[in-house]
Copies of this chain bind each other. A is one copy, B any other.
Amino acid sequence: MNNEPAQHLDRTFAALSDPTRRAMVERLAQGPATVSELAAPLPMSLAGAMLHLKVLEESGLVTSRKVGRVRTCRLDPQRLSLAEQWVAGRRALWERRLDRLGAFLDASKPDGEA
């Protein structure tokens, strides 16, 4: 699990750091969508939206397939999960530490209980 290139996490978190791209992810969480559908609600040109889409694809969060002249995009839950796990892992580590510390304090100074 620790063997993954950090670059992937770089790109994934960077992709998620932009509100436009998070909006795209939110939309895609409801189901697949075409490039135009993703771009339509955004306050920018189609070309601008495509740049964001490119970032999402390069991060691996989104995959797409083109049939005819329409490109359909969908979310990749695995990549989402990867980012989630990194965060969860560090948080678990830190909270476990806090728990141990609490237990130690409780044990060495039982007056402080309750």
Q: Which residues of A contact B (CB under 8 A)?
A: 6, 9-14, 16-19, 22, 25-26, 28-31, 75, 77, 80-81, 83-84, 86-88, 90-91, 93-95, 97-98
Contacts and interface: CB of A to CB of B under 8 A. Distances in A.
B22 A97 contact: no
Contact of A10 (B17, B75, B77, B97): B17
Contacts of A31: 97
Secondary structure class of chain A's binding surface, majority of residues: helix
A10 B19 contact: yes
Contacts of A98: 77
A93 to B, nearest CB: 4
A80 B98 CA distance: 15
